[in-house]
């Protein structure tokens, strides 16, 4: 029979021995993380934050990129369950269709933390916490900025085109809702076209080209659900011989470096901040969950509004 250190030394001696021997410390936490993709500057910063924070904490991270496909995320989550990771975290590309796979994780007793985007499930016990922004509020902030702009600029009728995020994604649904709610108080503000640009520059440019073709000079305002689509649209507007930020006022969301540069160049009017640096809070929450501590079901982050007037001054402070 082989004796373990504990039985050989007795409990007290074993405890002091364990303290002196970091080599037999608890094994590192393993997190399986399924990311949406690499569709935007925001996402790149979010991925870097998660990789960096987990590395610093000595966490073993299994990272999977879903390339904006829900079925890839479902596959990744099943593979994390099969590998018996300690915690599953993911940023769900769309809101619905998660019940089955989340139940599988729950049955396997693996806690799930949602980051960035929410899910719609009938049983909230299918995840332990949701860490991310309030997207409805971001949409409202965009709408409020436009209400103010309209007031300061003669209260003329304004035709708005909207570039939506990925169809079915929480930030697309919520940013649409919040914006519509905020501008409803001014009947002169009208959304004349609204279509998805899938949160990418290429799609934002393509859809803006189509808007310009059908609506031409009727367009006064572009509301883009993220900066990347706004940046793509800026190109389309310039190629159509118009001045972005002047002939067409542009309101977008995220607050990435590219948006600050566009504002500095006078081509974008305002960006509503959405903080992608969720790595440290994810690590802290995962550690608490692993230690059996209670965590908040909903963790939000503080965010601001940055109009073009402050872009040059703010740019050096931006971390993404």
Cβ neighbours of 122 (radius 10 Å): 6
For ligand GYE, what does the binding mask look like between residues 293 and 312, x meaning CB under 6 A?
Answer: --------------------
Helices 135-152, 170-183: axis angle to 10 degrees equals: 30
Q: What is the DSSP string of 196-248?
A: E-TT-HHHHHHHHHHHHHHHGGG--EEEESSHHHHHHHHHHHHHTT--BTTTB
Would you say the C-alpha torsion 283, 116, 36, 144 has a positive or negative sign? negative
CB of 16 to ligand GYE, least distance (A): 48
- Judged by CB under 6 A, the stretch of 39-47, 106-114, 188-196, 304-312 that binds ligand GYE is 39-47
For residues 129 and 298, is the Cβ–Cβ distance under 8 A?
yes
**Can you read off the two tokens belonging to residue 30?**
């393993």
| 278/311 with CB nearer ligand GYE | 278
Q: How many residues bind ligand GYE (CB under 6 A)?
A: 13
d(CA 166, CA 5): 56
Q: Does 274 bind ligand GYE (CB under 6 A)?
A: yes
For residues 246 and 274, is the Cβ–Cβ distance under 8 A?
no
Which helix (H) or strand (E) covers residue 272, if one does?
A: strand 270-273
Out of 139, 171, 204, 255, the only residue in the binding site for ligand GYE (CB under 6 A) is: 171
- Judged by CB under 6 A, the stretch of 24-32, 40-48, 107-115, 185-193 that binds ligand GYE is 40-48
CB of 39 to ligand GYE, least distance (A): 5
Q: Does 117 bind ligand GYE (CB under 6 A)?
A: yes
Q: End-to-end alpha-carbon separation of the chain, Å?
A: 58
Residue 188 is classified by DSSP as T
Q: Does 226 bind ligand GYE (CB under 6 A)?
A: yes
- Judged by CB under 6 A, the stretch of 35-43, 107-115, 202-210, 287-295 that binds ligand GYE is 35-43
| 57/145 with CB nearer ligand GYE | 145
For residues 268 and 234, is the Cβ–Cβ distance under 8 A?
yes
Q: Does 39 bind ligand GYE (CB under 6 A)?
A: yes
| 49/226 with CB nearer ligand GYE | 226
Cβ neighbours of 241 (radius 10 Å): 8
| 186/320 with CB nearer ligand GYE | 320
For residues 129 and 295, is the Cβ–Cβ distance under 8 A?
yes
Q: Does 34 bind ligand GYE (CB under 6 A)?
A: no
CB of 40 to ligand GYE, least distance (A): 4
283 strand-pairing partners: none
| Binders of ligand GYE in range 83-102 (CB under 6 A) | none
Q: Does 198 bind ligand GYE (CB under 6 A)?
A: no
**Can you read off the two tokens belonging to residue 78?**
């099943």
Q: Does 201 bind ligand GYE (CB under 6 A)?
A: no
- Judged by CB under 6 A, the stretch of 14-22, 36-44, 95-103, 259-267 that binds ligand GYE is 36-44
Which residues here bind ligand GYE, judged by CB under 6 A? 39-40, 42-43, 116-117, 171, 199, 226, 228, 253-254, 274
């Amino acid at each position: 029979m082989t004796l373990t250190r504990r039985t050989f030394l007795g409990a007290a001696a074993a405890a002091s021995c364990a303290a002196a021997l970091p080599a037999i410390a608890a094994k590192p936490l393993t997190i399986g993380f399924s990311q949406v993709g690499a569709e935007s500057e925001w996402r790149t910063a979010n991925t870097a934050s998660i990789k960096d924070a987990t590395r610093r904490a000595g966490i073993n991270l299994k990272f999977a990129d879903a390339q904006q496909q829900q079925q890839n995320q479902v596959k990744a989550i099943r593979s994390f369950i099969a590998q018996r990771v300690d915690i599953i975290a993911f940023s769900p590309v769309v809101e619905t269709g998660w019940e089955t796979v989340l139940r599988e994780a729950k049955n396997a007793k693996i806690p799930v933390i949602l980051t960035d985007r929410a899910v719609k499930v009938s049983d909230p016990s299918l995840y332990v916490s949701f860490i991310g922004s309030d997207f409805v509020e971001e949409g409202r902030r965009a709408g409020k900025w436009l209400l103010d702009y309209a007031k300061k600029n003669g209260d003329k009728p304004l035709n708005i085109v909207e570039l939506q995020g990925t169809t079915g994604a929480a930030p697309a649904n919520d940013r649409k809702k919040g914006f519509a709610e905020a501008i409803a108080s001014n009947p002169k503000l009208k959304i004349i076209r609204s279509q998805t640009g899938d949160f990418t520059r290429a799609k934002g440019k393509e859809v803006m080209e189509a808007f310009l073709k059908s609506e031409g000079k009727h367009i006064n305002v572009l509301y883009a659900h993220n900066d990347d689509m706004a940046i793509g649209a800026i190109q389309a507007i310039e190629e159509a011989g118009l001045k972005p930020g002047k002939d067409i006022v542009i309101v977008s969301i995220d607050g990435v470096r590219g948006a600050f540069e566009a504002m500095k160049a006078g081509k974008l009017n305002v960006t509503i901040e959405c903080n992608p640096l969720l790595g440290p809070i994810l690590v802290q929450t995962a550690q608490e969950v692993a230690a059996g501590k209670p965590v908040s079901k909903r963790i939000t982050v503080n965010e601001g509004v940055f109009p073009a007037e402050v872009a040059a001054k703010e740019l050096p402070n931006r971390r993404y």
